[in-house]
Amino acid sequence: MPLPRLVPAALAASAILALTLTGCTNAAEETAKQTDGKTASTQTPDSIEKLSVDASAQKLLPADVVKRGTLRIATDPTYLPFEGYADDNKTFIGLDVDLADSVGQLLGLKVEFTPSGFDAIIPGLSSGKYDMSMSAFSVTDERKKNADFVVYHQSGSGLAVPTGNPDKLKMDAMSLCGRTIGAESGTTQGQEILPAFSEECTKAGKKAIDVKLFPGSDKAITALTSGRVEAVSSGATGLGYQAKITGAFELASGGDFAPKPTGLVLPKGSALTPAVTAAFEKLVTTKAYKQAFEKWGINESNYVTPAQVPVQ
């Protein structure tokens, strides 16, 4: 089926979206240039209460991290409300940033975020380039083979569609057969869900889904608003937020598909995992945790309990 033609209003929406999602920047591969190769700063908003050091979590920290005094965190800053840039194109903002700042307070550490392409984060962790990552990673069995996870949020996948959803698409294999659907490289939607949907299509004698992968969620959404793809699959929380603030597209009805826990990522067997886990078990019981979710308009149904934080 031909892709929809882009009307002038969609052109304007696309331009607004690009500015909103990237803080007037290009996509993830350009972020290192924007900061001249340096780590960008973070800022804890006044609306989120400051936390005191949790001694029981702090004592679990490895000696080298205590000596360094910082947590080096990788993120792909193209995915608000989880992570993005403020208007200065240097300061990281988003739910993940606010939660990481709170964890730093509990552990008595400073927090340093470094931009990275999403699919390069886990390899970067494995090589020791970063201590951990907060970038809205879904916890999957495949990823658990190469990384440790600490859960702080839960959500499923959603489908971004043109306003009005003229083709009545939904997050269902038979609805998407023969369609051109975008996703971000390295995500569960691009690597697992859409390929599985496509296989269902061919088994049913229908056309396969033409899956187009992009280096950032912002580029995938821009492809939607410019008519190069018919829909985009990504995390439902992020898509819902972006749809609301931009008005450039909408989230297809039907709720979250296959909800999964979202977790921060550490190298497999990291000596930091016990301390970070203990800090998050404390954090999810505080006002700061709820305030961060409220600040970014994320429903309390996405909260987790202390018992859900550790990943086996």
Q: Hey, how many other C-beta atoms are within 10 angstroms of the C-beta on 233?
A: 29
Asked whether residue 2 is domain-assigned, the answer is: no
pLDDT per residue over 259-272, tens digit each? 889 999 999 999 99
In this predicted structure, what is the pLDDT of residue 253? 86
In this predicted structure, what is the pLDDT of residue 42? 52
| Model pTM score | 0.74
For residues 222 and 99, the answer to whether their CB atoms sit within 8 Å is no
Q: What is the mean pLDDT of residues 105-112?
A: 98
Asked whether residue 1 is domain-assigned, the answer is: no
Q: Which residues make Cβ contacts (< 8 Å) with residue 219, sequence separation at least 6?
A: 27, 78, 184
Give the residue from 243, 258, 273 where a domain finishes: 258
In this structure, the answer to whether residues 98 and 193 fall within a common structural domain is no
Specify the length of the chain in residues. Answer: 312
- Cα 184 to Cα 58: distance, rounded to the nearest angstrom: 36
Read off the amino acid at residue 287: K
3-state DSSP assignment of residue 54: coil
pLDDT per residue over 167-211, tens digit each? 999 999 999 999 999 999 999 999 999 999 999 999 999 999 999
Domain hosting residue 227, numbered range: 8-21+156-258
Alpha-helix runs per DSSP H in 204-262:
217-225, 236-246
Asked whether residue 3 is domain-assigned, the answer is: no
In this predicted structure, what is the pLDDT of residue 14? 38
In this structure, the answer to whether residues 36 and 66 fall within a common structural domain is yes
Q: Which residues make Cβ contacts (< 8 Å) with residue 260, sequence separation at least 6?
A: 138, 139, 140, 154, 155, 156, 188
% of the chain at pLDDT higher than 90: 72
Look up the CATH number of the domain holding residue 225: 3.40.190.10
DSSP state of 203: H
In this structure, the answer to whether residues 142 and 163 fall within a common structural domain is no
Q: How many domains does the chain have?
A: 2
pLDDT per residue over 22-72, tens digit each? 333 333 333 333 343 445 545 444 589 999 999 999 999 999 999 999 999
